[in-house]
Structure 1
């Protein structure tokens, strides 16, 4: 049974390594310095384990200590009958022990560097933003299993990625603070209750956080939908734990068909269903601006958000969308463009991790693409 934590294993292996080095150095000097030669070198019994065996065989740590009978007595080491001609000078003795101390210190430093060596740095001063939607036992185009999501989290940990909050990311974009190497932001779109049921506990277990971009009208209208949508109560519970929630529009997520093509309502004028008259430019701009503002007003009132962020439905936008967002104080827009972000970006790129084709190997390849740019 593993009775030690990872840090305890590391400290124990360091102590073992230092003891071996010290014993080796003392043995070396015992052949050159009479004072050290007068002491019997302590040889470890076969039961004393090496650093390597201690790390890989926990039970070896329970082996007995070296035989205490091999240790010289205090009287023997301090005997006044020792031949005075064999005693080295004080300066020589100090030099010998100084060299021993230096060697041990050097070994400790090398061991510490090995233990605390950072993982591979794939990119610096950049942030990868990962997108998910829905989690369920049955996968689909935008749905992955809890097991696949957890596998992604373990991959992030194993490969030295640092999950940061979206607020830290925004501070980086505003050049208020730096971010760690291999920085990652985890986001979810739409507002499915599966986030609360599956992602939230897995993220909490790993000490990670995430952001949900909500279709605010879906939370507000109380309509029963499939898959189920989050409630304000669930959102507030997660918000208290450091999870954040921003706009995926108020009610502009649905697509419409224009000339046989399905596109976002944000990027086209709609037609009045009664008069069959298309919107004017003024009406179109007012519609999307009011939608953005209504979503942010509700989120700010409910959660006290200090910044307005917009995630584009289906990743689609045009210049009018950007202009109207800026007019109501939305400085950053999250798109469907794939890539890694630097501090001068305003249209935020994201990597889609929420599809069943996203194997661990492909997921890592997309994340580490930031090192090649």
Structure 2
């Protein structure tokens, strides 16, 4: 191959490698540059590409307006929108608490606009075996096992005949040593379970943030992170982390089995945080469906699922419904953070570009000298 042909080929490789590096760099670091996110992802960028630690408080509703009632509305098919709630209160004082009035308004709007509530059993069959679900399918979920679920949410669920799932921090159920917001007791749980409410694990007692280094300045969710062991002056090893998490999930499953007589196959991750080792532990324990706090629509095979936050004092039921009607357009392309993979690809193409550039300079210099010799 002549020097000229080599130079042209290297130029093409150089341009392509720089282009690929730029593409993966943007994919990996768009969240650090808001203008890049706006350019490449538009208004839906935050919902579509944010990482596992997504902000669960989905408010505001950009560009949304309340719409007319559509009793025969068709919004999405072969997908499930999972809604996430926490506390429900007549007079909320916490930003994450939803008023009873707004919760009932949500239920009425969903019913009036042709949304169809499904059970967790239906959801699992849909995710794991591609079993059909109604169009505009919605799964209602409640985290943390607050007593307010029994006092305020459950009566409304019964009124509207809406199935729901509650994720319990198992160690807090009926535990007088637990302080803070009142939690459910087992009598309440069993009564609601007989009434058709499903209960699954939100861990046994790993629903908290803890230090991951000696300075304690960067606490992480205890379920998904290797924690700092103060007595040993170091961070957990991978084996220690996996043993701790496995023991917690096993204990939660055992208690749920003892109290409710059913195996636990579903886990909602505290704060939505997860890791690959954690997913492997879940599979080992027979937990085949997990849920995060990231907004999106769920499709068959998506065993680690998205949830749209529908609670909080800032919730607007009419705008919430408008978002649900546009779920396919606004949330249907969501995915979990792929930044680590994109960073590896970016580095690989940077190395290729650098090596190609060095050879390109060498061949270009030789070609320049060759032409100089001919002209001389």
Q: Could you tell me the TM-score, scaled by structure 1's length?
A: 0.66
Partner of 2:73: 120
Q: Distance in 2 between matches of 1:160 and 1:355?
A: 24
Q: Distance in 2 between matches of 1:300 and 1:363?
A: 36
Shift in alpha-carbon separation, 1:186–1:206, aligned structure 2, 3 A: same
RMSD across aligned positions (CA):
1.7
Q: Distance in 1 between matches of 2:325 and 2:211?
A: 37
Partner of 1:316: 273
Does 1:197 pair with 2:151? yes
1:351–1:366 CA contact under 8 A, matched in 2: no
Does 1:283 pair with 2:240? yes
Does 1:268 pair with 2:209? no
Q: 2:83 aligns with which of 130, 155, 159?
A: 130
Q: Distance in 2 between matches of 1:294 and 1:192?
A: 20
User: Displacement, 1:171?
Assistant: 1.2
5+ long unaligned stretches in structure 1: 1-116
Local SS of the residue matching 2:187: helix
Does 1:250 pair with 2:204? yes
Q: Distance in 2 between matches of 1:172 and 1:223?
A: 39
User: Displacement, 1:253?
Assistant: 0.3
When structure 1 is superposed on structure 2, of 172-181 and 328-337 the one drifting more is: 172-181
Q: 2:129 aligns with which of 169, 175, 183?
A: 175
1:212–1:245 CA contact under 8 A, matched in 2: yes
1:126–1:341 CA contact under 8 A, matched in 2: yes
Local SS of the residue matching 1:236: helix
Partner of 2:344: none
Q: 1:210 aligns with which of 158, 161, 164?
A: 164
Higher relative contact order by CA 8 Å / sep ≥ 6: 1 or 2? Answer: 2
User: Displacement, 1:193?
Assistant: 0.1
Q: Distance in 2 between matches of 1:281 and 1:173?
A: 30
Shift in alpha-carbon separation, 1:133–1:118, aligned structure 2, 3 A: closer
Number of matched pairs: 257
Partner of 2:182: 228
User: Displacement, 1:268?
Assistant: 1.9
Greater Cα radius of gyration, structure 1 or 2: 1
Partner of 2:97: 143
Q: Distance in 1 between matches of 2:156 and 2:116?
A: 16
2:128–2:303 CA contact under 8 A, matched in 1: no
User: Displacement, 1:155?
Assistant: 1.0
Partner of 1:350: 307
Q: Distance in 2 between matches of 1:118 and 1:138?
A: 31
User: Displacement, 1:306?
Assistant: 3.8
Deviations 1:248-280 (A, max 9, x none): 001110111345233201222223333333222
Deviations 1:184-203 (A, max 9, x none): 01000000000000000011
* Displacement over 4 Å in runs of 4+: none
Deviations 1:285-329 (A, max 9, x none): 111111111111111121122441110000011111111111111
Local SS of the residue matching 1:205: helix
Q: 1:301 aligns with which of 258, 277, 295?
A: 258
Q: Could you tell me the TM-score, scaled by structure 2's length?
A: 0.65
Does 1:162 pair with 2:116? yes
Shift in alpha-carbon separation, 1:178–1:118, aligned structure 2, 3 A: farther
Partner of 2:298: 341
Partner of 2:316: 359
Q: Distance in 1 between matches of 2:314 and 2:299?
A: 27
Q: Distance in 1 between matches of 2:228 and 2:174?
A: 25
